[in-house]
Amino acid sequence: MLLNLLNSLRTHFFTIAVTATLYFGWLHRDDNYLSAETGTGYLLGIVGGSLMLVLLLYPVSKRMTSLTRWIPIRYWFGVHMMLGVIGPLMILFHSNFHLGSTNSSVALICMLLVAGSGLVGRYIYTHIHHGLYGAQITLKELKLQTENNHTELLGMYAMDETLDIKLKKMEAKALQPYKGLAISLLHVISLALNAHSFNKAVINLLKDSYITNDNDKVMPDSKTVIDSVNRYTLALRQAAAFKVYEQLFSLWHILHLPLFFMMIITAIIHIFAVHMY
Which stretches of the chain bind ligand HEM, using CB under 6 A? Answer: 52, 55, 59, 62, 80-81, 84-85, 87-88, 111, 114-115, 118-119, 121-122, 125, 253, 256-257, 260
DSSP at 196: H
- The DSSP code sequence of 40-92 is HHHHHHHHHHHHHHHTTHHHHHHH-HHHHTTS-HHHHHHHHHHHHHHHHHHHH
Query: Please, which residue, 15 or 151, has the CB nearer to ligand HEM?
Result: 15
Query: Please, which residue, 47 or 203, has the CB nearer to ligand HEM?
Result: 47
Query: Please, which residue, 12 or 253, has the CB nearer to ligand HEM?
Result: 253
Nearest residue to ligand HEM, using CB? 118
Q: Which residues have CB under 8 Å from 110's CB, separation 6+?
A: 259, 262, 263, 266, 267
Give the CA dihedral 142, 11, 74, 78, nearest 10 degrees. Answer: 140
Query: Please, which residue, 14 or 42, has the CB nearer to ligand HEM?
Result: 14
Q: Are 42 and 36 in contact (CB under 8 A)?
A: yes
Query: Please, which residue, 36 or 175, has the CB nearer to ligand HEM?
Result: 36
CB 71 to ligand HEM: min, Å: 15
